[in-house]
Amino acid sequence: MDKTQLEQHVHGQGEAPVIDNQDLSGNDYHEADLGGGVFTRVDFSGANLSGARLKECVFDNCDLTGARLEGADLTMATFSNIKGAESFLCDTTLTYTNFIDAALQKADFRNAGLNNTGFINTDLTEAILAGTSGEYANFLNPVLTNADLSAADLYRPNFFYPQLKNINLSGTTLNLAFFLNPDFTDFDFSNTRMIMCQFQDAEMPGTVFAGQDITQSGFTGANLAGADFSRTIADNCLFIKARLSGSNFSDSRLSQTLFVEADLTRCNFSGAVMVQSQLTKTRCEGTAFCRADLTYADLSHADLSGADLSRTSIYRTNLHQIIEKQTGWAGADKSLALSTDPEKAKAEQYQP
């Protein structure tokens, strides 16, 4: 079926518009107008669909292995249960396009526009998404192992339960990205620009954020044991109930950051600016706060056993009901801090 015949079929000129169970592999459909076409069990492997108008098309159980779709308009198209390994989708328009249960290993999406694009249960192993841009892209249960997202610029992308081993985010901008249950173990974010990103219930031990600006980012419930946040700007961040044992926050900015109920054992906050930070009910056994600025910070009910607060600024710091066993206060003026409030302590112990 040549280009003209296929266009006629799609537009219902004497034939049913649904193309079913056809072998169109290797054919040339460059710049074909196939908008609204429905293709089921069609073999497009190796076909040339570059520059084609494929708006609102449906590809169901089709084979697009090695197909060329560079520059194609795929607005509102749906790809369901397709084979698309090593396909070429560079510079494509993927506005409101959905890939569902698709096999897109090593597919090339370089510089594609990802606007409200959905990748649902899609295998993107070793896929190239370098230079992609857009807003509200959704990755639900995607496999992004060894995928290349370098230099991508994504606004409000969502990554739910992603597989991210060896993903490349070098030079990538993630603006208001949301990650649910990702595994970034030992990942280095040094070359990634992150703007108010959220990492919820994340596995991130050993991650590196050193020198980054992650203001207003969230890590609620995350495992960040041994992470490197040294020299990081992390004002107004959320580390509520995060596991941060052994992490390095030395010389970081952490003003108004929330560490409520977090595990901060053996962390290093030396020289950190933590003005008005909330550390209530935190575990800080063996934690170093030497030379830190804890002005107006709240350490109510924190366990500071063995912690080092030498030369720490604690003006109006709330030390209500702290646990202090072998805590070091050398050079810190505790008279400037707020000690335990007896009436509040009594009220907290009240049981009706």
In angstroms, the CA 95 to CA 115 distance is 5
Distances (CA, A) of 41 to 22, 24, 38, 79, 173: 7, 11, 10, 12, 38
Is residue 46 pLDDT above 90, yes or no? yes
Model pLDDT, residue 348: 82
Note the pLDDT tens digit of each residue in 282-304. Answer: 999 999 999 999 999 999 999 99
Q: Confidence class of residue 14 from pLDDT cuts 50, 70 and 90?
A: low
Torsions phi, psi of 104, nearest 5? -125, 40
Sheet with 193-195: strands ordered across: 133-135, 153-155, 173-175, 193-195
Note the pLDDT tens digit of each residue in 86-113. Answer: 999 999 999 999 999 999 999 999 999 9
In angstroms, the CA 279 to CA 49 distance is 58
Note the pLDDT tens digit of each residue in 186-215. Answer: 999 999 999 999 999 999 999 999 999 999
SS3 303: strand
Model pLDDT, residue 16: 58
List of residues 6+ apart from 79 with CB closer than 8 A: 59, 62, 64, 97, 98, 99, 100, 102
The answer to whether 229 and 210 are in contact (CB under 8 A) is yes
State the pTM of this model: 0.92
